[in-house]
Amino acid sequence: ISGYVGILFSLIHNRNGNMTYGLGAITDKARKITVQVKQFTTSDLEIGDHVTVSGIVKDQDALVTIYCDSMNNIKLDLEVKPLAPEIVQRGGRHVKRIRTVQE
């Protein structure tokens, strides 16, 4: 899935020095999707950069989250012009999962 960096990726958890987790979000200018990264390493991505994220999409709770194995699953697309921060801020509504009715 492609979008613009809406929340910078940063370290959120370190388990005994073995596994680091990062968290960030991408937006399409209207809504945002949270991205969780295992084996997190710092990156040079900036707010508004256009990226392509590959991973597993899950909707455990009400919100949709993409889970990536590493920052290598988040690729900067230099061919797309970055968005200005004020435009990125507009894309703050979370993508929610669709509830299905079971019979």
Tell me the average pLDDT of the chain.
Answer: 85
Instruction: Give the alpha-carbon dihedral of 80, 85, 88, 90, to 10 degrees.
Output: -150
Query: Average of pLDDT values for 4-13?
Result: 91
SS3 label, residue 86 = helix
Which residue has 């809504």 as its token pair?
31
Answer with the residue of higher pLDDT: 15 or 103.
15
Query: Average of pLDDT values for 24-39?
Result: 91
**Domains of the chain, CATH where assigned:** 2-94 (2.40.50)
